[in-house]
Structure 1
């Protein structure tokens, strides 16, 4: 055991500094090289330290999913916030309106996918109004108008409504299953953007699993294209390792998370119980990935992980990578940042 691992209570999840810095720089460079703006989805980490790294690397703004998250990243120093969701909460809208009134330099944008949603925004708008991106969805998607024509009709409704201002079009392609489906969907977003009566509309897309296709398909669109990629910042050893566009184009992301835990019990031959569980590591998009050869995770419980392996003894220490960063950060309020020798060189705090 070395560095912080010799001093910590277990389980402990660490963040590798070099991987974190590499990922922030890599995604910033990709966006710049393809003429894209990057508004990283802060709901992944909800960390002021990581937000500062992303903004210092040139992020256009920060993306969030809820009013509470928007108010939190404002406390991180974000001047431009994109709320990539519909907002219908009266209390939340009133608080956003108050913040927009208080700070004339605060830039805020949100989504709308129905006249009813626009009317709710109008009812709580500050004097300078809410800036709105009309959302184009797709069949089976989680939100958005279901056709280009419906989206353009909604844009016209926004344009004639007081209290809201049309800023562009938005969408989410991450739930589509193939590059062909993504290209077709992006074609609809392009069509909407090019029919809007705006000199420089925004066109915002998700961008974690298909940013290579986005970079090609939207290279010539007459709009400012904003990626909302989030999971790239820590990457992983599972879900995003398999799906990152850097499997198809030049470049790489590196897994920054690692969780360490003791073997607690070996109650049967070839079976061991490890002292970490669902409270400590994500399990919704794949189980943790053992870093030791011959170890296989078979189940997770609240505080335990069951593995199959030969030769383990109580007190042994195992390391695991994780799958799905978005449900890793939220399990820890503080995370030690370590160098290659596991010496602590910083701390990441989270505010979920």
Structure 2
């Protein structure tokens, strides 16, 4: 069953007032609630630049597309909520059938608990005694709350067990822990099968922990989407499946073990290699996060449902854009716009110029051909142009790359009805918590 959440808490986000803290909205909207702002059906032209927007039809398409794809391939979906840190978007994903929400740390778990998310996978080890005590309190307070975290060493298990056994009684609910499997030159995770099995044995032997399955992140060991890169990910996932089989005798009889992998780059290989474990009693859980908005850069290139699809199903579409304004033309062929590193992601690709909004009523939207963003400062962007001239005051839509470093720059994000329109209508405002 999909994880439950507090629908009333989500709905109450519309009652929050907007203010000067919300850089996406103009002073004319300050002091009004989100619901009051939306009731007037504001348009993009009423918002300041720079501003990042989400596409309502794009979000809907992407959420439904991966939900259908996962169900078709026999996988459960636990989207990585750290991508957006937006409870309203988590609710959208849960309503579409997601089994859980994945998060990266206990701070993020606190946000999830504030909005009543009942099943959370923490894709990390939790070894802080203070955090382990808080999780124990939450498990005791809410019998329907489920949380699973990771461990990649016996030492990690020992720290968790020591902290919990000094705090909880013998009748306390055990904490579910997944053995994290890594790969050479990867991130965290046990580097070999013997270490992984030893971690599983330590979890199974602990009095306050329960061995709940295995997990890992194939994106940390993947090296591209050419045949060699895909073969390396397959090999990693095959080892992953083998470790799960070696641990089967340690699982409690009443547990459905979780086998979890899958970012937004190789989820078709998770279905191919790990999907068959579902027929053998495991719950295979995909944790993709960036798919909800997709993008116009990294994920457009590498997603299995991107511009070069590697699996069945509809293609994902970019559902996030930014709008910037030309403020200076100091040299021929060079324009400066009003957004920089504090507004736009830049760790994977520079923003991609896509269109110029009409300069006056009745004029058409123009394609931003021959334009390239070459550099970002803190608050300025550098646009070089050849084919279509720009003038000071022009407003451009740019495509963005890497959702995980886009959402964290905006505390309130307008959602528009049609990002291709001359003056889109704002149909929602999404609150993030970073």
Structure 1 unaligned spans of 5+: none
State how far apart, in whole Å, the 2-side matches of 1:48 and 1:94 are. Answer: 24
Residue number in structure 1 paired with 2:315:
252
State how far apart, in whole Å, the 1-side matches of 2:74 and 2:244 are. Answer: 16
Displacement after TM superposition at 1:174 (Å): 0.5
Displacement after TM superposition at 1:213 (Å): 1.1
State how far apart, in whole Å, the 2-side matches of 1:288 and 1:21 are. Answer: 23
1:242 pairs with 2:301: yes
1:202 pairs with 2:261: no
1:211 pairs with 2:267: yes
1:336 pairs with 2:414: yes
Q: Secondary structure at the match of 1:245?
A: coil
Displacement after TM superposition at 1:45 (Å): 0.3
Residue number in structure 2 paired with 1:124:
163
Kept after mapping to 2: 8 A contact 1:28/1:59: yes
Q: Higher Cα Rg: structure 1 or 2?
A: 2
Displacement after TM superposition at 1:162 (Å): 1.2
Residue number in structure 1 paired with 2:432:
350
Give the 4+ runs in structure 1 shifted more than 6 A: none
Question: What TM-score, normalized by structure 2, do the two folds share?
Answer: 0.79
State how far apart, in whole Å, the 2-side matches of 1:89 and 1:274 are. Answer: 44
State how far apart, in whole Å, the 2-side matches of 1:314 and 1:249 are. Answer: 44
Structure 2 unaligned spans of 5+: 1-40, 224-228, 355-367
Residue number in structure 2 paired with 1:33:
72
Kept after mapping to 2: 8 A contact 1:110/1:132: yes
Residue number in structure 1 paired with 2:289:
230
Displacement after TM superposition at 1:255 (Å): 0.5
Displacement after TM superposition at 1:336 (Å): 0.9
Residue number in structure 2 paired with 1:11:
50
Displacement after TM superposition at 1:327 (Å): 0.7
1:297 pairs with 2:373: yes
Kept after mapping to 2: 8 A contact 1:97/1:124: no
State how far apart, in whole Å, the 2-side matches of 1:152 and 1:119 are. Answer: 15
Q: Secondary structure at the match of 1:303?
A: coil
Q: Deviations over 1:213-264 (max 9, x none)?
A: 1111123223211111000001100011001011212321110111111100
1:100 pairs with 2:139: yes
Displacement after TM superposition at 1:3 (Å): 5.9
Q: Which region of structure 1 is more displaced relative to structure 2, 64-73 or 197-206?
A: 197-206
State how far apart, in whole Å, the 1-side matches of 2:98 and 2:231 are. Answer: 29
State how far apart, in whole Å, the 2-side matches of 1:220 and 1:272 are. Answer: 54
Residue number in structure 2 paired with 1:320:
398
State how far apart, in whole Å, the 2-side matches of 1:306 and 1:102 are. Answer: 53
1:160 pairs with 2:210: no
Aligned residues: 351
Displacement after TM superposition at 1:129 (Å): 2.0
State how far apart, in whole Å, the 1-side matches of 2:341 and 2:44 are. Answer: 21
State how far apart, in whole Å, the 2-side matches of 1:207 and 1:29 are. Answer: 17
Displacement after TM superposition at 1:77 (Å): 2.3
Q: Which region of structure 1 is more displaced relative to structure 2, 279-288 or 117-126?
A: 117-126
Displacement after TM superposition at 1:209 (Å): 0.6
Kept after mapping to 2: 8 A contact 1:40/1:230: yes
State how far apart, in whole Å, the 1-side matches of 2:391 and 2:141 are. Answer: 60
Kept after mapping to 2: 8 A contact 1:52/1:76: no
Displacement after TM superposition at 1:206 (Å): 2.7
Of the candidates 136, 160, 181, which is equivalent to residue 136 of structure 1? 181
State how far apart, in whole Å, the 2-side matches of 1:194 and 1:114 are. Answer: 19
